[in-house]
Structure 1
Amino acid sequence: MANENRFLVRKVAVLGSGVMGSQIAAHLANANVEVILFDLTSKEGHPNSIVQKSLAFLQKLEPTPFSVKSKVNYITAANYDNDINLLEQCDLIIEAISERMDWKKDLYSKVSSKIASHAIFATNTSGLSIQSLSEVLPSHLRKNFCGIHFFNPPRYMTLVEIIPQKETDAKTLDQLEAFLTTTLGKGVIRAKDTPNFIANRIGVFSMLATMYHTDKFHLGFDTVDALTGTSIGRAKSATYRTLDVVGIDTLAHVIKTMGDTLPNDPWHSIFKVPNWIQTLISKGAVGQKAGAGVYKKNGKEIHVLDLELQNYRLSKQEVDPSVEAILKIKDPSEKFKQLIKSDNPQAQFLWSIFRDLFHYCSVQLQDISENARDLDLAIRWGYGWSMGPFETWQAAGWKLITEAINNDIASGKSITNTPLPTWVTDQNRVAVHFAEGSYSPTKKINEERRKLPVYLRQHYPEKVLGEKHSYGETIFENDGVRLWNIDPDIAVLSFKSKMHAIGSDVLDGVIESVKVAEKNFKGLVLWQTESPFSAGANLAQVTQALQTNNFTILETMVKRFQEASMALKHSLIPTVAAVQGLALGGGCEFVMHCSKAVAALETYMGLVEVGVGLLPAGGGCKEFALRASREAKGGNIFPFLQRYFENIAMAKVSRSAEDAKELGYLRPSDTIIFNPNELLYVATAEAKGMYESGYRPPLKSRDIIVTGKGGIATFKAALVNMLAGGFISEHDFEIGKKVATILGGGEIEQGNMVTDEWLLELEYRFFMELLKTNKTQQRIEFMLKNGKPLRN
């Protein structure tokens, strides 16, 4: 029987090719959705030249909105005068023109007669009333009309807010949420139709409160950024740097909207654009896009605006040592106690911005959000904070913070004397997030997560403080790994090390887990309970062995690495790597050896061993030589090998999972998905499907055709040129020669066939030779200390 509720998306129209519209179109194209990108008809040149210019700009933008460059070909340029009939073919239409109610309504009048009755029509507004916008639509379109608010940049930011109006059909919202979640990989929050919705309402308030207290405590913008970035679990760009990135003119517009639309908000007195911002706008210094804002670059130096000097000065970012010590306290409750009682102005500033944020969130929660979880996730996903406001409050001790806020309200220190809601001060309240749900002030219950079918694909959704995940039944465990299951047929292997680095205990664990899984399960999935997949070999363990000159341990480790990779490749049950985030060095090699990979779009893979003076020796070189031999199909191997040589010699890391396919780290048959929360679900299904189709592992290769001396000589010639041109160092040259020798199959005649074991032996030999050199040892030490490569 046909499923009446299926929302099939063949084609999407995006109306407006500005910064947001064009990037939303790019992300749809990433997901293999055909997009028609509309804008006004150009008065000069080609009628579509406005859209064409936007697409040209997109291709230069960093970070890149496209997963691979070719995705731009899925976007068709169009204009309203000549191409409006194309809208009839679209299943989803996203309007993303400027934030002007009159312009949007005017456009709706123009396009509404061309929108198919089944299509969802959504406006990407960051704060306008969805109800008011819907009023110009014919009644039959209103049931499919809602707000859809992407965050910039749409490819990378998790959050999308969906905002219904009074007539939006519940089914429309469910269908749109499922499409955004699986196809585009987003975290969807349903917001109420209130000005600026949830994330911007709270995020912009937080920014305004920070500006207010910057002035009150006479702090420099650079000092505030040093205080409000990663040290308090927020984005690296902190406050004023974020302002420059977003655009000072954009923020001024959002502040004005808040001032105009929220006259009764108790904090209304701070909803105004500060004079210094007006001055910057009048000078055109609106941030990064204009080359100057709060900050500007002066040669290599960063200068910051100083309001007392009325000019720019060198940015210093000085945090008082006593405040720095408080911020390093691990226990949130102790940290806040110290901030509250300190009389240092920087500590008082930090407590004030947190106090006002908590105060504001608790007073506004009922009006803007269904529950505390939605508000916290909206801020985490939309602003890149590691914890939401209510999570932070709960972690610091509900009663402690509530009492401190009440004291400040009573003594007139807070911005408004509006009392905390009664649900906050309830004697029995110790938290808002619990295992069974998060507090909803409207319903006066702890509300569970929504039970849409799409969320059955997420075994372990991103949790908020107070929620618990139990990761199945343990089958086998050692210091490095845990083998467990939730599905009776599939075993899951997770690493326990920091950044999921691969040391001896992980290698032993992988080898043992394959044996256990072969006996008892239909498939084995490598999946980490959080990102990244793996940052590669455990360098600390390597350094320890080097310091005691214990090369026997290192020789054993390399052999075990190769054994683990080959165990994954030749296991009698399918092994599936479920990858997201970094998969570097040995982590990348494990993925390459599994029967299949399921990779989240945001996967950054690479064989980066050159950076620490080494080469891939967990089978990475061997696998590339094998793939080149197969791809050449009896023809010239060299062009295929060349790409792989460049990957290793230049330590190339993919910019997406699609890019990893183009670089050859992933195979054409590997699966790419957009929502990392669905990785385990899809990988489990893939493993089962492979088993049910009578899976047999590949046999060990005995027929790898290699280029031998001829190919090696060609690679060496290229390295000589790079050395002469100053592109690589002497040590890079030595490493490059060794990589070339392995990929070429050793100093043998061209066209010879070699085995897996032959190539693995070359990897092992050259790896150990490099490990004994001073320069490689210096690189490893430098990487451990500084987290970046040394080019010696």
Structure 2
Amino acid sequence: MSRFNVRQVAVLGAGVMGAQIAAHLVNVRVPVVLFDLPAKEGPKSAIALKAIENLKKIKPAPLGLAAEAARIRAANYEDDLALLAECDLVIEAIAERLDWKHALYEKIAPHIAPHAILASNTSGLSITALSEPLPEALKPRFCGIHFFNPPRYMQLVELIPTPTTEARYLDQLETFATTTLGKGVVRAKDTPNFIANRVGIAGMLSTMREAEQFGLSYDLVDDLTGKKLGRASSGTFRTADVVGLDTMAHVIRTMQDQLGPDRGNDPFHASFATPAVLAKLIEQGALGQKAGAGFYKKVGRDIQRLDPAKGDYVASGAKAEPIIDRILKKAPAERLKLLRESTNPQAQFLWAILRNAFHYAAVHLGSIADSAREVDLAMRWGFGMQQGPFELWQAAGWQQVAGWVKADIDAGKALSSAPLPDWVFDGRSGVHTPEGSWSAAQGMYLPRPALPVYRRQHFPEALVGENAVPALKSGTEVFRNEEVRVWTLDGEVLIASIDCKLHLISPTVTAGLLKAVELAEASYQGLVIWSPDDVFSAGANLEALMPVFMKAGAKGIAPEEKKLQDLMLRVRYASVPVVAAMRGLALGGGCELAVHCARRVAAMESYVGLVEVGVGLIPGGGGLAYIARRAAEKAATAPGTDLLPFLKDAFQAAAMATVGTSALESRQLGYLQDADVIVAHKDELLHVALGQARALADAGYRPPQKSLIPVAGRSAIATIRASLVGMRDGGFISAHDYHIAGLIAEVVCGGEVDAGTVVTEEYLMALERQRFCALLEHPKTQERIMGMLQTGKPVRN
């Protein structure tokens, strides 16, 4: 794969988007210079400095670690333009004013390196128009790059070329955005609002219009158009609040200005009118979440919704009718048929917005995107949809749905009288096929991009109709039980995939992973533990152990805990490297499994921690033994020092059930080590993990030697307990939390022994197992376990 060597990036504009783009760049270890106007008072770069400081306060956090803000270099356009020559990529992210952007380009152009790419992060301005004042030598290296907000979390990045953009620079930028930034890249045509906002905002306007027509409240609409419809949980109006009502209004104005009868001549233009309630809220300064009020308002702990008839906020919480819930759980063909034929206003509303989405996407496909693939992926990655509009249409029966949409257009029920394109009715069964996706502009099916970077994605997100083989049916299967599949892609490295709900570790999973280690040692270079979704493992399967507990109590659980701990030691001391490929949740037993592997490869958005306190337990799969061992290893680098300081942070993380909310934070908590690898793109995780296993094997991997572990002993336990008393007496933790934390202290300090006593891992695990089983008999712990199993929420007692 050819490499676009980005040694440093300049971000121009320290506003909301610019600063957060800079934050995401430092998350992935790319040096950044953040520019803004020179300040009139104080340090010249005070505007950029203030923006950098504010990054630490934003929620959700744009930084993987708040301290990483210091890695962003503040600059201004008066003193620091020479720094641009040291940058391989320059991202302009100032306000959406063509004249302001042109003026800035004229200022910076002489300072940009002759190989560097200049890209504008605009949400809808014409990229070709933006390029007009650029020197001819820079135009081939200029394009649009549209990040979605917030840049750290939103997967979509749209790349938009001009007629003079050279393909090689676009390829370089797509490769960088994919593998380094972890983004899903969609190439868009240079049309107003590009793909995602063009289709998405048209859909939101359609939803607002139909909601008013059917008389549905904002909270009810959000319940109907959220997860139940396979979309983002924030629905429609809450999404508008999060995005910012002023931002949404700006995008709407772009559509109004650029797509009217005298310009773009969009046949849906009449439906682009700014909703009266939106205009009124903006006039009042109620711009959504950032202003504390919009369609919703937080009052104390309650979320209230706007009642436009009263002009005030009222209690929210309206839910879809049960019959609608049942319909939305049906298969696509039956679901759409029932919605269309129902007389229920909620069903009629849902059919109307889906019909409008199909209609709009089909009419505009040829002008906004190279193929239907770009539209569906843009809506998945930019608007949180499980399926894009073309996917749902195809899954529900292409010709049947097309006939329904045509009938509504002919009856005057649709947003526009524009007919569906002829290609819709050419006998096809959809727009996505194994060979490629339909290009309305070219009249052919286009295959997926062939850039080398995509070879790193063994199992990229598949679209309906592509007939991609699922990961857990791919490769060569070597072994399988009810909850673990052991397989290989290359015959060299074995892969173990946990295949059950939340990948909870049950006795069946334990047996399957033990078999995987045995097979890997016999015939393979290494073993990778990986599953193709956003859960590595959410912990132990308590429900699976309930029959044993009910029959034999804690004594019956002890042997199962011993088997789990033996698995962890088997993984740690395997004669071949075992690599944990962590994506999403790695909690409790999942965290314990990962820390006992030879190497961890973690996706950036991995959430790792020992959370057993939440169910009234202590870690019982070797997690506390791991903490004790790691503290001893760190203390060994500073001979003669006390062990307690090396235990303190890890003890607190376990006692408080602290979860690392990024791979960077998880490393800081000690669940990832310096040699472990953090991967930005979730779909590259398996590729990198397999490479790590091979590299360790090629380097002559040998497992660690078993050794004795010095422990902190009874004096450290007493010190920790003393600090816990203040927290208990101050009401910060409950009496049962105090009890559990004391047991954690006993294990990580090695029990009632003298400081410096050396013990084995098996001794620590036995101590851990005994304390774990004792807690199972405690009524307060039993309350927590039953509460979690029944409600999925922790019980505080």
TM-score scaled to structure 1, two decimals? Answer: 0.98
What SS does the aligned partner of 1:324 have?
Answer: helix
AA at the equivalent of 1:351: W
- Could you tell me how far 1:320 is from its partner in structure 2? 2.5
AA at the equivalent of 1:707: A
Greater mean deviation of Cα atoms: 390-399 or 316-325: 316-325
- Could you tell me how far 1:549 is from its partner in structure 2? 4.2
Q: Check whether the contact 2:615–2:795 (CA below 8 A) recurs between aligned residues.
A: yes
- Could you tell me how far 1:553 is from its partner in structure 2? 4.6
- 1:330 equivalenced with 2:335 (yes/no): no
Greater mean deviation of Cα atoms: 109-118 or 586-595: 109-118
- 1:471 equivalenced with 2:474 (yes/no): yes
- Could you tell me how far 1:202 is from its partner in structure 2? 0.7
- Could you tell me how far 1:686 is from its partner in structure 2? 0.8
Q: 1:59 aligns with which of 56, 60, 65?
A: 56
Q: Distance in 1 between matches of 2:386 and 2:547?
A: 33
Q: Check whether the contact 2:581–2:601 (CA below 8 A) recurs between aligned residues.
A: yes
- Could you tell me how far 1:302 is from its partner in structure 2? 2.2
- 1:623 equivalenced with 2:620 (yes/no): no
For 2:66, the equivalent position in structure 1 comes to 69
Q: Check whether the contact 2:571–2:596 (CA below 8 A) recurs between aligned residues.
A: yes
For 2:367, the equivalent position in structure 1 comes to 367
For 1:393, the equivalent position in structure 2 comes to 393
For 2:182, the equivalent position in structure 1 comes to 185
For 1:448, the equivalent position in structure 2 comes to 447
- Could you tell me how far 1:309 is from its partner in structure 2? 2.0
- 1:15 equivalenced with 2:12 (yes/no): yes
- Could you tell me how far 1:446 is from its partner in structure 2? 2.5
Q: Distance in 1 between matches of 2:315 and 2:548?
A: 45
For 2:270, the equivalent position in structure 1 comes to 269
What SS does the aligned partner of 1:162 have?
Answer: strand
Q: 1:699 aligns with which of 683, 698, 705?
A: 705
For 1:437, the equivalent position in structure 2 comes to 436
For 1:457, the equivalent position in structure 2 comes to 456
For 1:740, the equivalent position in structure 2 comes to 745
For 1:221, the equivalent position in structure 2 comes to 218
Q: 1:608 aligns with which of 603, 611, 628?
A: 611
What SS does the aligned partner of 2:584 have?
Answer: strand
Q: 1:722 aligns with which of 705, 723, 727?
A: 727
For 1:294, the equivalent position in structure 2 comes to 295
Q: Distance in 2 between matches of 1:138 and 1:41?
A: 25
AA at the equivalent of 2:438: Y
Structure 1 gaps of 5+ residues are none
For 1:597, the equivalent position in structure 2 comes to 600
- Could you tell me how far 1:376 is from its partner in structure 2? 0.6
- 1:546 equivalenced with 2:546 (yes/no): no
What SS does the aligned partner of 2:74 have?
Answer: strand
Q: Check whether the contact 1:579–1:603 (CA below 8 A) recurs between aligned residues.
A: yes
What SS does the aligned partner of 1:583 have?
Answer: strand
Q: Distance in 2 between matches of 1:354 and 1:495?
A: 36
Distance 1:547 1:403, change over 3 A: farther
AA at the equivalent of 1:457: R
For 1:559, the equivalent position in structure 2 comes to 562
- Could you tell me how far 1:189 is from its partner in structure 2? 0.7
Identity %: 50
- Could you tell me how far 1:439 is from its partner in structure 2? 1.7
Q: 1:754 aligns with which of 759, 767, 774?
A: 759
What SS does the aligned partner of 1:29 have?
Answer: helix
Q: Check whether the contact 1:33–1:74 (CA below 8 A) recurs between aligned residues.
A: no
Greater mean deviation of Cα atoms: 544-553 or 145-154: 544-553
Q: Check whether the contact 1:199–1:379 (CA below 8 A) recurs between aligned residues.
A: yes
Q: Check whether the contact 1:543–1:781 (CA below 8 A) recurs between aligned residues.
A: no
For 1:346, the equivalent position in structure 2 comes to 346
AA at the equivalent of 1:570: Y
Q: Check whether the contact 2:53–2:69 (CA below 8 A) recurs between aligned residues.
A: no
For 1:315, the equivalent position in structure 2 comes to 316
| Coordinate RMSD, CA, aligned | 1.3
CA-to-aligned-CA distance 1:31-51 (integer Å, 9 cap, x gap): 111111111111122211111
Q: Distance in 2 between matches of 1:465 and 1:124?
A: 30
Q: Check whether the contact 1:707–1:744 (CA below 8 A) recurs between aligned residues.
A: yes
Q: Distance in 1 between matches of 2:83 and 2:188?
A: 31
- Could you tell me how far 1:288 is from its partner in structure 2? 1.3
- Could you tell me how far 1:73 is from its partner in structure 2? 1.9
AA at the equivalent of 1:786: T
- Could you tell me how far 1:321 is from its partner in structure 2? 2.9
Greater mean deviation of Cα atoms: 137-146 or 364-373: 364-373
- 1:172 equivalenced with 2:178 (yes/no): no
Q: Distance in 1 between matches of 2:550 and 2:196?
A: 50
AA at the equivalent of 2:414: S
Q: Distance in 2 between matches of 1:285 and 1:529?
A: 41
Q: Distance in 2 between matches of 1:241 and 1:255?
A: 17
For 1:198, the equivalent position in structure 2 comes to 195
AA at the equivalent of 2:445: N
Structure 2 gaps of 5+ residues are none
**Equivalent runs, 1:209-248 vs 2, <5 Å:** 209-248=206-245
- 1:710 equivalenced with 2:728 (yes/no): no
Q: Distance in 1 between matches of 2:734 and 2:156?
A: 44
- Could you tell me how far 1:26 is from its partner in structure 2? 0.6
Q: Check whether the contact 1:123–1:149 (CA below 8 A) recurs between aligned residues.
A: yes
- Could you tell me how far 1:551 is from its partner in structure 2? 4.4
Q: Check whether the contact 1:475–1:483 (CA below 8 A) recurs between aligned residues.
A: yes
Q: Distance in 2 between matches of 1:112 and 1:774?
A: 70
- Could you tell me how far 1:545 is from its partner in structure 2? 3.0
AA at the equivalent of 2:327: I
Q: Distance in 2 between matches of 1:409 and 1:273?
A: 23
For 1:665, the equivalent position in structure 2 comes to 671
Q: 2:660 aligns with which of 654, 661, 669?
A: 654
Q: Check whether the contact 1:225–1:317 (CA below 8 A) recurs between aligned residues.
A: no
What SS does the aligned partner of 1:594 have?
Answer: coil
Q: Check whether the contact 2:525–2:697 (CA below 8 A) recurs between aligned residues.
A: yes
- Could you tell me how far 1:260 is from its partner in structure 2? 0.6
What SS does the aligned partner of 1:81 have?
Answer: coil
For 2:778, the equivalent position in structure 1 comes to 773
Distance 1:316 1:685, change over 3 A: closer
Runs of 4+ in structure 1 over 4 Å off:
549-553
For 1:510, the equivalent position in structure 2 comes to 513
Q: Check whether the contact 1:543–1:780 (CA below 8 A) recurs between aligned residues.
A: no
Pairs aligned (count): 786
For 1:279, the equivalent position in structure 2 comes to 280
Q: 1:152 aligns with which of 142, 149, 152?
A: 149
Q: Distance in 2 between matches of 1:516 and 1:316?
A: 53
Q: Distance in 2 between matches of 1:272 and 1:611?
A: 50
Q: Distance in 2 between matches of 1:304 and 1:729?
A: 35
For 1:379, the equivalent position in structure 2 comes to 379
- 1:680 equivalenced with 2:677 (yes/no): no
For 2:426, the equivalent position in structure 1 comes to 426
AA at the equivalent of 1:149: H
What SS does the aligned partner of 1:125 have?
Answer: coil
- Could you tell me how far 1:210 is from its partner in structure 2? 0.5
Q: Distance in 2 between matches of 1:616 and 1:300?
A: 33
Q: Distance in 2 between matches of 1:330 and 1:752?
A: 62
For 1:257, the equivalent position in structure 2 comes to 254
Q: Check whether the contact 1:579–1:600 (CA below 8 A) recurs between aligned residues.
A: yes
Q: Check whether the contact 2:553–2:777 (CA below 8 A) recurs between aligned residues.
A: no
What SS does the aligned partner of 2:79 have?
Answer: helix
Q: Distance in 1 between matches of 2:671 and 2:722?
A: 25
Distance 1:596 1:267, change over 3 A: same
For 1:536, the equivalent position in structure 2 comes to 539
Q: Distance in 1 between matches of 2:48 and 2:647?
A: 39
Q: Distance in 2 between matches of 1:60 and 1:711?
A: 35
Greater mean deviation of Cα atoms: 165-174 or 276-285: 276-285
Q: Check whether the contact 1:511–1:563 (CA below 8 A) recurs between aligned residues.
A: no
What SS does the aligned partner of 1:86 have?
Answer: helix
For 1:785, the equivalent position in structure 2 comes to 790
What SS does the aligned partner of 1:82 have?
Answer: coil
Q: Distance in 2 between matches of 1:747 and 1:768?
A: 18
